[in-house]
Structure 1
Amino acid sequence: MYDDLGSVDDWLDEMSIDLTATARDALADMVASQGMTEDRSPAGFAVVDVETSGLSPEFDRVVEIAVVGTDRAGNVVDEWTTLVNPDGPVGKTSIHRITAADVADAPRFADIVGELTRRLAGRVIEGHNVQFDLRFLHAEYARAQLRLPRLVTLCTYQESYSYLPGLDRRRLPDCCHAAGVVLDDAHAALEDARAAAGLLRVYLGSGTGLANSHRQLPEEAARIGWPQIPSSGAAIKVRPPATPPPVPAPAGALAALLEDLAIDNLLDDGAPRSAVGYVEILAEALEDGILTEDEAAALADHARFAGLTRADVDAAHGEFVLMLARKAVADGRVSAEERRELNNVAELLAVPDKVVKRLLDEADSEWVAHLSRDCRPLPDEWAFGEPLRVGQKVAFTGGEPVRRARLEIAAQAAGLRVMNNVSGVTAMLVTPEARPDSRKGEAALKHGTRIVRPGVFERMIVYVQPAPERSNGHRVAEAVTPGKAGLEAPGVPASPSVIRAWARENGYVVGPRGRLPQDVQAAFLIATESGI
């Protein structure tokens, strides 16, 4: 529960800062007058959130800070927030929505350090992934030639594993949604701190033994001595009222893969819990598909602070790419853009290209095996010959758009790969047209691809069968050999001319003479028996 300064201790000893003469004198007086506060009665928790210009406490700065004070039960008793002039770039305005103009007349950190200290002193420091916030606070205090004491801390991110088990992601919005806590404006310091305070109140009110132990933390925090720093009297500046955010552009392939990524699965694969927090920050840094040198340095710094070894980081990178691969194959196909983004991420994380191919194959095998476990056995009266199998490719052309979209969704849910073209490995083309003259229809005739009506397809996808199993125990989607996808239909009493007429009327492609395809015979039998 006690905060560890980690590498910041070394930095504090080495750090020197050029200050204006006035600021230097003021700080000198402030430091000279530092004393340590006396023990006090337990005050509760100080929920902290900072918005920053980047990920590295060494090079980046705080641009906004908020503190929400609570009692020992997590009930809010006071709030405070201000923008902070970082004396430099504000970072990604697209994330925190703070511009250079917003902070131009805001107080500097040295101006607010006295008031901030007054609000933190004697309280348990709490936040969501609070170590991130604390590392920036340690750095900002050091720039002001001050040092924070050892702190009693509580992290709603880390504690969510106990209070909110079973989540795939543990970002602040994820935990708030699971706990029923309102989060109105993510990446605004005060709103994030309010939300984290709401999580704290839910945790402490859960009635568990862990909650009871966390309620005792303020007693420990009250025994910590804090420096007495006079307030500068500087006016705070609150960010402007939130305006409706612009309509975002359609998410690229990487952003779509990162959305709702099951990062918590890292723990199932044996990764240390600290690696999950590292990967959360990695995912946020990669949302724009770029990893800058500063972001890479900040990630390396975070890994050291979290106690991760090089082997831990390499393993986390490999698992991260595997999770992206799993997400990419979840709909049964990997688009060219998704594959390009996966290769880009792999290159940024020094994961070899051949590993990406292996990971995609591994993810695909997992996907096929998972869906194969839930297949229904074929009924005794099955009359459609060779069934479809998990992982096979199907295509659609023509027909009513709503019904077609519904069939495509059902096909994906059944474990089929819905493709935008027809090739020699396509198992089936679904179309209501008597003679599909689209490119897909022409390709189906060229390759001998099986062509069926939507009504028949609807019946077949209910009984999609498991993919064949390899000798190594893995399942692999079965390729289709043209000309061998026909149906073994039972005897049909109707004359060929009757069946041909029915087939043409219902969109099947049949010649004027010769043997009728077995799938057409079977479909005719089912249709006439059921009244389709």
Structure 2
Amino acid sequence: MLDDQSAAETLPPAHSSGPAWPTEYPDGYAVVDVETTGLARDDRIVSAAVYRLDARGDVIDHWYTPVNPQRDPGPTWIHGLTSEMLADAPLFPEIAGEFAERLEGRVLVAHNAVFDWSMIAREYARARLVAPVRQRLCTIALSKELELPLPNHRLESLAAHYGVVQRRAHHALDDARVLAEAFRPSLHLAARGGIRLPLLACTPLTEWTDSVTPAGPAGGSRARSAGWRPSRRRPACPYPNPGRYEPGGPLVQGMRVAISGDTSIDRELLEDRAVEAGLHVSGSVSRLTSLLVTNDPDSGTSKVARARAYGTPVVDEAAFTQLLRDVAPAPER
């Protein structure tokens, strides 16, 4: 059963005809969605789905599996997977081979692909394996290239643009299906316009080290990351500041973000995740600050006071971590 355990189903491809296909386009794609325990570097995958597509975006087959993260499953109100549901699910090393077979030789396609690729690469690194992925394609970036008239860059907006009906939002299999159905017409639109696909290299992670802490609610020993060994001196944000965050909209690469007060995720990990998404993390609040993140907006800290004085938008950590999953690419200069 696709909803309860690892599964694959072969579907007949819907062949399409049309003008000459760009010879430089990839031979196949793996449309991927993963649900996770959170957004930090030591968070884990709780479910994964892959739709394999041929060179023109037609579905070959699809596959889904829950994954026991060996820790608390995190935001169950989002992905719907509880500790009890995941207790008997396979561990990532047990599904790594089958997952790899569906990725091998294909371009990984995802909505906000840097997030899915980062989570997948880290899981393979923990398992002392390497994901067989060399390139990725972000459908947000592709939508920007195509200049689609979208109100924002959320998956549901892309789906609505193409008339794709979403049945179970934040279920990995349905999100992957929706994205596969929306990616196909985008791919054909790009081909007709002779648009170069926004492909990026996927560099395997090789410096992972683990330490073991007591068992988590999902059972088994909980493998926690001792983390990567990056310098705390981060490079400058390569994107210009697009201005303030508009409540209800997406974050945009280059936005200047400040964090105030205690956070449930380790502060450095939260900042790393923001930097990876293309945001500028600032240690103070000024008129240029796009957004302040705080779990205590009524506190008297200097950052909160300045944000109030400047009219800077404020969100809590939970809202911020969700916004990080769908960061819009920087506007073209």
Pairwise same-fold verdict (TM > 0.5): yes
1:274 aligns with 2:253: yes
Q: Which amino acid aligns with 2:38?
A: G
- In structure 2, what is the equivalent of residue 104 of structure 1? 87
State the SS of the aligned residue for 1:125: strand
In the alignment, is the contact (CA less than 8 A) between 1:168 and 1:263 conserved in 2? no
State the SS of the aligned residue for 2:57: coil
- In structure 2, what is the equivalent of residue 136 of structure 1? 119
How far residue 109 of structure 1 moved from its aligned partner, in angstroms, is: 0.4
State the SS of the aligned residue for 2:156: helix
1:386-401 paired onto structure 2 within 5 Å: none
Q: Residues 313 and 204 from structure 1, CA distance in 2 versus in 1: closer, same or farther, beyond 3 angstroms?
A: farther
Q: Residues 112 and 360 from structure 1, CA distance in 2 versus in 1: closer, same or farther, beyond 3 angstroms?
A: closer
- In structure 1, what is the equivalent of residue 38 of structure 2? 54
How far residue 140 of structure 1 moved from its aligned partner, in angstroms, is: 0.5
Cα distance in 2 for partners of 1:344, 1:205 equals 47
Q: Residues 356 and 90 from structure 1, CA distance in 2 versus in 1: closer, same or farther, beyond 3 angstroms?
A: same
State the SS of the aligned residue for 1:187: coil
State the SS of the aligned residue for 1:263: coil
Select which of 182, 190, 195 maps to 2:165: 182
How far residue 317 of structure 1 moved from its aligned partner, in angstroms, is: 8.8
Select which of 102, 107, 110 maps to 1:124: 107
- In structure 2, what is the equivalent of residue 262 of structure 1? 249
Q: Residues 75 and 212 from structure 1, CA distance in 2 versus in 1: closer, same or farther, beyond 3 angstroms?
A: farther
Cα distance in 2 for partners of 1:291, 1:180 equals 42
Q: Residues 342 and 298 from structure 1, CA distance in 2 versus in 1: closer, same or farther, beyond 3 angstroms?
A: closer
In the alignment, is the contact (CA less than 8 A) between 2:31 and 2:110 conserved in 1? yes
Q: Which amino acid aligns with 1:274?
A: Q
In the alignment, is the contact (CA less than 8 A) between 2:27 and 2:54 conserved in 1? yes
1:151 aligns with 2:122: no
How far residue 214 of structure 1 moved from its aligned partner, in angstroms, is: 3.0
In the alignment, is the contact (CA less than 8 A) between 2:254 and 2:278 conserved in 1? no
In the alignment, is the contact (CA less than 8 A) between 2:34 and 2:47 conserved in 1? yes
Tell me the TM-score normalized by structure 2.
Answer: 0.62
Cα distance in 1 for partners of 2:54, 2:162 equals 20
1:359 aligns with 2:291: no
Q: Which amino acid aligns with 1:72?
A: A
State the SS of the aligned residue for 2:291: helix
Cα distance in 2 for partners of 1:84, 1:348 equals 42
Which string of whole-angstrom CA distances, capped at 9 and with x for unpartnered residues, describes residues 248-267 of structure 1?
xxxxxxxxxx9971336xxx
- In structure 2, what is the equivalent of residue 497 of structure 1? none
Q: Residues 73 and 312 from structure 1, CA distance in 2 versus in 1: closer, same or farther, beyond 3 angstroms?
A: farther
How far residue 355 of structure 1 moved from its aligned partner, in angstroms, is: 3.3
Q: Which amino acid aligns with 1:152?
A: Q
State the SS of the aligned residue for 2:72: coil
Aligned-pair identity in percent equals 34
Which string of whole-angstrom CA distances, capped at 9 and with x for unpartnered residues, describes residues 169-226 of structure 1?
31211222233222211110011111111221121122566665339x7xx99xx99x
- In structure 2, what is the equivalent of residue 294 of structure 1? 265
Cα distance in 1 for partners of 2:178, 2:285 equals 33
Which string of whole-angstrom CA distances, capped at 9 and with x for unpartnered residues, describes residues 309-365 of structure 1?
4449967993236xxxxxxxxxxxxxxxxxxx999448699733143133179xxxx
State the SS of the aligned residue for 2:49: strand
- In structure 1, what is the equivalent of residue 73 of structure 2? 90
How far residue 147 of structure 1 moved from its aligned partner, in angstroms, is: 2.3
- In structure 1, what is the equivalent of residue 59 of structure 2? 76
In the alignment, is the contact (CA less than 8 A) between 2:50 and 2:176 conserved in 1? yes
Give unpaired runs (5+ residues) of structure 1: 1-40, 226-257, 265-272, 322-340, 362-532
Q: Residues 343 and 79 from structure 1, CA distance in 2 versus in 1: closer, same or farther, beyond 3 angstroms?
A: closer
Give unpaired runs (5+ residues) of structure 2: 1-24, 205-244, 314-333
Number of residue pairs the alignment of both structures matches: 248
Cα distance in 2 for partners of 1:202, 1:291 equals 44
Q: Which amino acid aligns with 2:307?
A: V
State the SS of the aligned residue for 1:182: coil
Cα distance in 1 for partners of 2:98, 2:35 equals 18
Q: Residues 207 and 296 from structure 1, CA distance in 2 versus in 1: closer, same or farther, beyond 3 angstroms?
A: same
State the SS of the aligned residue for 2:128: coil
Select which of 29, 50, 53 maps to 1:45: 29
Query: Higher mean Cα deviation, 149-158 or 136-145?
Result: 149-158
How large is the RMSD of aligned CA atoms in angstroms?
Answer: 4.1
In the alignment, is the contact (CA less than 8 A) between 2:190 and 2:196 conserved in 1? no
In the alignment, is the contact (CA less than 8 A) between 1:343 and 1:353 conserved in 2? no
Q: Which entry has the higher C-alpha Rg, 1 or 2?
A: 1
Select which of 193, 202, 217 maps to 2:176: 193
1:318 aligns with 2:289: yes
Cα distance in 2 for partners of 1:70, 1:294 equals 36
Q: Which amino acid aligns with 2:152?
A: R
How far residue 67 of structure 1 moved from its aligned partner, in angstroms, is: 0.5
State the SS of the aligned residue for 1:214: coil
Tell me the TM-score normalized by structure 1.
Answer: 0.41
Q: Residues 66 and 153 from structure 1, CA distance in 2 versus in 1: closer, same or farther, beyond 3 angstroms?
A: same
Which string of whole-angstrom CA distances, capped at 9 and with x for unpartnered residues, describes residues 473-531 of structure 1?
xxxxxxxxxxxxxxxxxxxxxxxxxxxxxxxxxxxxxxxxxxxxxxxxxxxxxxxxxxx
In the alignment, is the contact (CA less than 8 A) between 1:129 and 1:155 conserved in 2? yes
Select which of 127, 141, 145 maps to 1:162: 145
In the alignment, is the contact (CA less than 8 A) between 1:49 and 1:65 conserved in 2? yes
Q: Which amino acid aligns with 1:80?
A: W
